[in-house]
Structure 1
């Protein structure tokens, strides 16, 4: 996969991720942990089918058995992300959750610097700082004066960017030149995460209250909003750096707030719109500078 295709793949993944908020607002009876259970269960079922088709059942089973510690740690990170996101989105607004998740690039940059020794280019640091300003702008507006339920939702949502930053750094560590063993296939880690999330929330989800309509919506989330984009993101992460993946993942904030506004009746405040615009500008600038830098040596060789 080329760098440009990896960027496009990651953008598509964020677009699919972003429908979670607006779809959740269509539910009638499903409660917090039941929502999380059904979404994770359908995600796991879809991944069994997709990975079985992509890898073959025998290869999938062998990958799960021989993935090693990194794969299971990645699976645990996916489980935290799947669970914390849906719990948080049932406690507070879509904007509050997505804005909180947007701190992921800052955590990923620090993790890559401390654990992998990466030296980030100035353009990436500049984009992170600009995005951080936009996040602070949105965050301060959304959390200020909020009730205890909303504050709890924001606190739960904070687990998502922490787990995401650790996950992308783990995946990127497999590309280290100092690593002698071949990198394992990390796609099954998403299946591990979905299964752990479903198992952890099943006791808390019982007895079920969701009707057929709710289950259909949650099946859509499990397959189209979770299974497919997560596989796309893992594929893109093989080419992109951890901070770059996290920066592109910020597009979910823009898309998600827009979906919730248009389809869920959650009108964002001026601070959310202004801060989101600043985040988007930082992303675009970082990617354009990266493409320009990559094309420079090619032009010189011509």
Structure 2
């Protein structure tokens, strides 16, 4: 999940290198290449069994696919409507939403250390960006769109765990990897009408192809797999590292040196996550002994 967050975080610094592609066109090309990469992956790993995977997925597959499409699309759209700070702070609500949803739908007992970590990590994110929060009326729509990302993420993490056979009341064990393909396809269909006329240069398409494969397809495949070994709240909590890593990429790749409060907030997030996961690992080892 650390690698997943690291790969997800590269979107911001790469999009700053684009020449002419903007808004929905960026979303379309990124989702298009994600769709191609996922189609190749499923063909190589499942072959003729792919249709059976879609049939076996049922409603959970459709729900997860729709949630992935919302996450793919709303993140990029929100960035065009409001500040990056507003989007990131809104996304930091994901662990709280996920913990509450897991508690209600799965009856999951969220550990006290995880609740504390959610609060501390959220405080760290807020401290990083509180001085940049935009309260302008025109930014409200962007914030509402950004709110779809943590909400969709929470539903998706809980859906993945509920159908992994570990903690689910139904005890189902369904491979939801095809949901990524559905999500990428829906994102393409949603963004295409608004992306016309296309303006991206070959340089831009090359960068967006890289994003589609390495920033979206690969980490999302890994995320679905690690959902079998981590609780939904832990998945959402670790995904907050995307914010911290994104700041580091902007610093190293675009020369955007973070302010002291950003460094302090990022350090709090990293320390909180390290302590939370460290305690969890020690407890698992103790139980195994």
TM-score category, normalised to shorter length? over 0.9
Give unpaired runs (5+ residues) of structure 2: none
Residue equivalent to 2:148 = 159
- State the distance in 2 between where 1:183 and 1:294 align: 23
How big is the shift at 1:150?
A: 5.2
The equivalent position to 2:42 in structure 1, one of 43, 47, 51, is: 51
Corresponding position: 1:168 with 2:157: yes
- State the distance in 2 between where 1:196 and 1:291 align: 38
How big is the shift at 1:96?
A: 4.2
Residue equivalent to 1:234 = 224
Q: TM-score, normalised by structure 1?
A: 0.89
Residue equivalent to 2:59 = 69
Corresponding position: 1:270 with 2:260: yes
Alpha-carbon RMSD across the aligned residues, in angstroms, is 1.9
Corresponding position: 1:27 with 2:12: no
Change (3 A) 1:109 1:14: same
How big is the shift at 1:91?
A: 4.2
- 1:150-182 CA distance string (max 9 Å, x none): 5544432221111101100111112245325x4
How big is the shift at 1:221?
A: 0.6
Residue equivalent to 1:279 = 269
Q: TM-score, normalised by structure 2?
A: 0.93
Corresponding position: 1:88 with 2:78: yes
- State the distance in 2 between where 1:256 and 1:59 align: 37
Q: Note if contact 1:48-1:191 (Cα within 8 Å) is conserved in structure 2.
A: yes
Give unpaired runs (5+ residues) of structure 1: 1-9
The equivalent position to 1:41 in structure 2, one of 12, 15, 32, is: 32
Further displaced range: 153-162 or 205-214: 153-162
- State the distance in 2 between where 1:150 and 1:23 align: 24
